[in-house]
Structure 1
Amino acid sequence: MELIQEHTDFAAYLAADEAVDHGHPLVQETADALWAATGDAYSYAKVAFEFVRDTIPHSADSGDDRVSWRASDVLGTRNGICYAKAHTLTALLRARDIPTGLCYQLLGDADGSNLAIHGLVALRLPGSDDWSRVDPRGNKPGVDAQFTLGREQLAFPVRPELGEIDYPELYAAPHPATLKALQESADRPQLWRNLPTAL
């Protein structure tokens, strides 16, 4: 998918903010440990993706009602929905100077009902001219997202015929609608009611 950059300055895709808090000691420690096990940008990015995908359960799968939204909190609680997991992978990649942005899709249930925004990331490895999208949501039966930069293997295929949308924008910071839903929800049931249905 062709991504449209919102910023021409790569620095925006390396910056820290309230949610992508890659200066936090827990994010730095995690990044250091993952880097020590890899040593180059591609291997690190793949291991960081798999770490977030596989060791931080999506709260809908685990049944955890806590709402985490900062990358450091997600690492601390080992819990989060797609937005939170995307913030965490973004923070880990930016901690090693890999430009990373946030992307979104509008997805629904099997029949296309209950449309809601889904979050994922795009990264650009050193020496590459292209952004590659990956989805750290977490695999389960029927979901098999992989770190495949040459061809996308995301968590969910978009079905335009059911009103689903692949948004082409690449965001340097979390979209305000997704951040608002996370910050204003006391627990996951409330978050489910607050999920944005459009960007």
Structure 2
Amino acid sequence: MELTQQISDISAYLAADDVIDHEHPCVRKTAERLRSETIDAYTYASAAFGFVRDSIEHSADSGDLRVTWRASDVLGARTGVCYAKAHALAALLRAAGIPAGLCYQRLADDDGTNPSVHGLIALKLPGRERWARQDARGNKPGVDARFSLDEERLAWVVRPEFNEMDYPVLYAAPHPAILGALRTAADRPELWRTLPTEL
């Protein structure tokens, strides 16, 4: 999938903000630990992906009703939905100087009903021209997402016959509609009711 940068300046995909707060001590500490266990940008990115995918529970899978959205809170609470986990992974990558952005898919249930927007990230490693999408949502039966630069290994492949799609924009910050729902939801059931069904 060819992504279009929302902002042409690559530094926007390295910036810290209120959501991707990679200057927060919790993010920095996690990044430093991962850096100490890896040898280069590739192995760091792969380790950060594995950490977020496997060590932070997807709250819908675990039954956790909390809504986290700030990267440091996601890492601290060890829970979040796909968007929150994407924010945490982007923060860990940016903390190591690896450009990372946010991207989205429009998905549906197996019968094509109940459309929803799914969040993931894309990163750009040194020496590579293209952005590579990664989905740290968390694996479960039927979902086997893996870190890969050459062939995408996402949680889901879109099905155009069900009006599913990959949105082509690579955002430097979360989409406002997604972030608004995350910030205002009192719990996950409310979040499910207020998230947009398309962007």
**Shared fold (TM-score, shorter chain, > 0.5):** yes
Residue 74 of structure 1 corresponds to: 74
Residue 22 of structure 2 corresponds to: 22
Runs of 4 or more above 4 Å deviation: none
AA partner of residue 145 (structure 2): A
Please state how far the C-alpha of 1:33 moved relative to its aligned partner. 0.2
CA distance in 2 between counterparts of 1:53 and 1:113 reads 27
Please state how far the C-alpha of 1:179 moved relative to its aligned partner. 0.3
Aligned length: 199
> 2:144 aligns to what SS in structure 1?
coil
CA distance in 1 between counterparts of 2:20 and 2:157 reads 26
Question: Does the alignment pair 1:45 with 2:45?
Answer: yes
> 2:57 aligns to what SS in structure 1?
coil
CA distance in 1 between counterparts of 2:7 and 2:126 reads 18
> 1:32 aligns to what SS in structure 2?
helix
Residue 8 of structure 1 corresponds to: 8
The C-alpha deviation readout for 1:132-156, integer Å capped at 9, x for no partner, is 0000000000000000110001001
AA partner of residue 150 (structure 2): G
The C-alpha deviation readout for 1:60-94, integer Å capped at 9, x for no partner, is 00000000000000011100000000000000000
Please state how far the C-alpha of 1:98 moved relative to its aligned partner. 0.3
Question: Does the alignment pair 1:109 with 2:109?
Answer: yes
CA distance in 2 between counterparts of 1:145 and 1:119 reads 13
Equivalent residue runs for 1:1-199 within 5 Å: 1-199=1-199
Which consecutive residues of structure 1, in runs of 5 or more, have no partner in the other structure?
A: none
Which consecutive residues of structure 2, in runs of 5 or more, have no partner in the other structure?
A: none
CA distance in 2 between counterparts of 1:24 and 1:124 reads 22
Please state how far the C-alpha of 1:39 moved relative to its aligned partner. 2.5
CA distance in 2 between counterparts of 1:107 and 1:18 reads 27
AA partner of residue 60 (structure 1): A
> 1:23 aligns to what SS in structure 2?
coil
AA partner of residue 86 (structure 1): A
Normalising by structure 1, report the TM-score: 0.99
CA distance in 2 between counterparts of 1:20 and 1:108 reads 27
> 1:103 aligns to what SS in structure 2?
strand
Normalising by structure 2, report the TM-score: 0.99
CA distance in 2 between counterparts of 1:148 and 1:8 reads 24
CA distance in 1 between counterparts of 2:31 and 2:52 reads 11
